[in-house]
Amino acid sequence: MVRVYIDGKELKAQKGETILQVARREGIYIPTMCYLTKVKPIESCRLCVVEVEGVDGFVLSCQTPVVPDIKVTTNSPKLFEHRQNIMKLYDVNHPLECGVCDKSGECDLQNKTLEFGVNRQDFTAKDQYRPIQKWQYIQYDPSLCILCEKCVHVCNEVIGDDAIEVYFGGYKSHIVPKNADTLDCTFCGECIAVCPVGALISSDFKYSANVWELQRVPASCAHCSAACHLYYETKHTSITNPKPKIYRVKNEFEFATLCGAGRFGFDFENSASKDEAAFSRAVEAFQKADTIKFSSFITNEEALILQKLKEKFGYRLINDEARNYQQFLHNFAKYSGKSLYGADLQRVQKSDFIMVIGSFTSSDNPAVRYAYTVAHKRRKAEIINMHPIEDDLLKPIVTKFIKYEVGAEEAVLAMLLDALLDEESKQKVSKKWFEELDIGYLSAESSVGEEEIEDIIRRLERKKRLREDTFTLILGEDLYAHPRAENIAKLAGLIDRLSDFEVLLIPPKTNSLGVALICDLDEEAGEYSIGYNVQGDFTLSALGDGDLDMPALNQQEGTFTNIDKRVVPTNVALPYDGYVLNDIARALGVSEKEYTIEFTPELPEEKGYRAINFDDLPNQFLNDGTEERGYVLKSKKVNLSRKNIEPIAELPEFNGTVIYRCEPVLQFSPFSHKAHQLNWSSDLIGSEQFSVAAKLQDGDHVVIFSQFGKIYKQFRIDKKLKGTIALMGVSDMGMRFFDMQASYRYEKVKILKRDEL
């Protein structure tokens, strides 16, 4: 820590912090136009200049680190005049379209033009022809662009798409796609979010509403376990129709990031109203049912209501995906010695060495992919991706890809455990187990060469020599339903406890971690089941297709437990006029509460939750980017198991035609087919090599004979894909989608062309 003075105020600062970082943390205002906390200083706007005692001229506060006893002045007549002239240059020939510009009312250029009193123009420049560019979701207007470069940096340094760049041509400079005239990206919309003017906008939102008409509702994204912070922005559709509509989704782009599903996939509310007859049938169904089958697309409070129903009536609670995760976490805890995994997304971003096993990350959880990108760009992190299929979106940042055979995850973890532990640590586990470990067999059958494991260790040792010591092991959804999941979890727990790595277990669905902690889940269904969000004999559905409708997650108050073990609040964006689960609980005598959020302080403290009322949960970011949203679960010590880990099983064979169930990055995008000529949610995607092996051609309509019955798809070839495993989206599978969660994501199938049947 060093002592610094800013505007005469004595402050303490961390060595290496910039002047701007210290000022922001202490609430001292320094104007910026191009600065973005989550990327490296861009240094294009020059508004952040300050005066430093003993230094001639101005100093850029965004890139200048503090030194002991530095004396900084953030505002003076000279600084004001300098900043005013910068704003005049920005305003040269900037079209006066504020009346129709989507950014009007929240435009940095507009605000700072007023802040620095620019009411006359001393500069001129010849105007240029700058045609508007339309890139599917995104529209770019070069005449409004001020070339702050925020969009380029966030696309490169955070998202990892690296899809746009600056075309340098003096006054003709503008933003262009790197891939000719086509924007080849995942359409996350983060470039729209960070744009300080109206140059980059959402084509869907364009001319639909003024900023000041919108009501901002803080919430959490319902699409994956990151449960990212976002705002639903709503307004009434018309005077005659007072019901609000979501017009767009925004985020705290300075610190947080959203994927395309979160930003554009918001239209999933249930517009049903109360149906008393259906409600009566629901209560009767609960009275005779013995099983409740449900998904993890629910809040913590709803999970607690289901648990209370189980405790009173003895229901079996069936959620295969959450139960797999629950069992994995339980076995992991017995060998790691702590109730929860330790790593989170912040740690991933700050990691020097990352290993990923069993996750197709770019589609499983985009927030994790973004964390990889930050670690690679900021810290030059080594990223080792181990998977049977190479993730094309991770290629620019992965420093080593290791392909293993389908089903070989247990063998891979065992080889890593053997390589990572020293002799003393191996003695703590079982000397005999390691002596009997046949590394040659595991290497041959898994297709992971011993030299590849040795290379990982060499890379790791190099990081240690550089005194870089933040190492993270990330495990994904492939492992939780693996036939050998129990032993894999134990191996992961040992790596967490005895090596330099801290483990992150990616929860597979939005609230899988919350459900796993709150509910006592069962393995098999009874004779009569009720489906909550999933079809059963009697169905409660948030999709409007069940026996009794339930609110969607953008129509509820409550909390999720996200990937960071953080209990995060979400709020009602759209009204819901029907019944909720708490109404049924009241009718059955389980609840006397009027609102579901009254269960928030009753979440189980023995699992790390706190007795905090919903309305008392914080939901914000501080000036320094610290997340104050909800609270983080407290991990507890767990007594270590005295049982040895099991010997590694003989590796299974997956010969023939194999498919892998995963969702597309663009699953919510109407432009996915235009952008990539692929639509994973309804297509079977394979490489050219797969098409030859399966005797299929691009465009063939096929029938997949699966353990879940016949599945009808259209086969498409992705030239970027390699290998002989096809990717199959399952979001269009209806009730079968939830049945699939109980099984390993890879499956050997038979595929025939429909005209061959």
CA distance 676 to 265: 19
- Tell me if 102 is assigned to some domain: no
Distance from chain centroid for Cα 70: 40
- Tell me if 376 is assigned to some domain: yes
Helix, strand or coil, per DSSP, at residue 167: strand
CA distance 600 to 613: 6
CA distances for 129 relative to 139, 151, 172, 195, angstroms:
17, 22, 9, 21
The pLDDT of residue 522 is above 60? yes
The pLDDT of residue 674 is above 50? no
pLDDT band at 190 (very low <50, low <70, confident <90, very high): very high
For the ranges 14-18, 104-108, 117-121, 441-445, the lowest mean pLDDT is seen at 117-121
Residues 292 and 193 in one domain: no
Judge contact between 249 and 230, C-beta under 8 A. yes
In which element (H, E) is residue 387 found? none
Question: What digits encode the pLDDT tens for the residues 18-71?
Answer: 999 999 999 999 999 999 999 999 999 999 999 999 999 999 999 999 999 999
The pLDDT of residue 432 is above 90? yes
Of the ranges 94-103, 131-140, 513-522, 674-683, the best mean pLDDT one: 513-522
| Residues above pLDDT 70, as percent of the chain | 97
Domain boundary among 68, 90, 112: 90
Residues 356 and 473 in one domain: yes
pLDDT recorded at residue 535: 61
Residues 202 and 243 in one domain: yes
CATH number of the domain enclosing 53 = 3.10.20.740
Residues 184 and 304 in one domain: no
CA distance 350 to 369: 13
pLDDT band at 681 (very low <50, low <70, confident <90, very high): low
Question: What digits encode the pLDDT tens for the residues 100-112?
Answer: 899 999 999 999 9
Judge contact between 533 and 251, C-beta under 8 A. no
CA distances for 244 relative to 238, 571, 623, 693, 748, angstroms:
9, 14, 31, 52, 47
pLDDT recorded at residue 668: 57
CA distance 319 to 315: 13
CB atoms within 10 A of CB 203: 13
- Tell me if 672 is assigned to some domain: yes
CA distances for 69 relative to 5, 10, 75, angstroms:
7, 9, 19
- Tell me if 571 is assigned to some domain: yes
- Tell me if 642 is assigned to some domain: no
CA distance 511 to 529: 22
Residues 496 and 541 in one domain: no
Residues 204 and 318 in one domain: no
Question: What digits encode the pLDDT tens for the residues 493-509?
Answer: 999 999 999 999 999 99
Residues 171 and 39 in one domain: no
CATH number of the domain enclosing 295 = 3.40.50.740
Domain boundary among 600, 621, 645: 600
The pLDDT of residue 679 is above 50? no
pLDDT recorded at residue 247: 94
For the ranges 35-44, 84-93, 370-379, 735-744, the lowest mean pLDDT is seen at 735-744
Residues 366 and 487 in one domain: yes
pLDDT recorded at residue 671: 44
Residues 149 and 252 in one domain: yes
pTM for this predicted structure? 0.94
Place of tokens 């060495």: 353
Judge contact between 633 and 609, C-beta under 8 A. yes
Question: What digits encode the pLDDT tens for the residues 356-396?
Answer: 999 999 999 999 999 999 999 999 999 999 999 999 999 99
Place of tokens 């063939």: 700
pLDDT band at 78 (very low <50, low <70, confident <90, very high): very high
**Can you give the residue range of the structural domain that contains 291?**
279-323+526-600
pLDDT band at 680 (very low <50, low <70, confident <90, very high): very low
pLDDT band at 543 (very low <50, low <70, confident <90, very high): confident
The per-residue b/e assignment along 690-717, b for 16 or more CB within 10 angstroms, e otherwise, is bbeebebeeebebbbebebeebebebbb
Angle formed at CA 703 by CA 701 and CA 709, multiple of 5 degrees: 150
pLDDT band at 180 (very low <50, low <70, confident <90, very high): confident
CATH number of the domain enclosing 699 = 2.40.40.20
| Residues above pLDDT 90, as percent of the chain | 80
Contacts for 548 with CB less than 8 Å, ≥ 6 apart: 275, 278, 279, 281, 282, 538, 539, 540, 541, 578, 579
Give the tokens for residue 120: 């006359």
- Tell me if 595 is assigned to some domain: yes
Residue 562 is which amino acid?
N
Q: How many domains does the chain have?
A: 5
- Tell me if 665 is assigned to some domain: yes
Residues 493 and 352 in one domain: yes
| Mean pLDDT, rounded, for 313-340 | 96
Strands laid side by side in the 529-532 sheet: 316-318, 291-294, 529-532, 538-541, 548-549
CA distance 307 to 311: 6
For the ranges 338-342, 428-432, 719-723, the lowest mean pLDDT is seen at 719-723
| Mean pLDDT, rounded, for 203-225 | 93
Residues 172 and 311 in one domain: no
| Mean pLDDT, rounded, for 235-242 | 79
The pLDDT of residue 561 is above 90? yes
Domain boundary among 44, 74, 90: 90
Place of tokens 């049982």: 643
| Main-chain dihedrals φ then ψ at residue 741, nearest 5 degrees | -65, -20
Judge contact between 202 and 192, C-beta under 8 A. yes
- Tell me if 629 is assigned to some domain: no
pLDDT recorded at residue 495: 97
| Average pLDDT of every residue of the chain | 92
Residues 188 and 199 in one domain: yes
Give the tokens for residue 442: 């595991």
Residue 244 is which amino acid?
P
Distance from chain centroid for Cα 706: 30
pLDDT recorded at residue 524: 77
For helices 485-498 and 409-420, the axis angle rounded to 10 degrees is 20
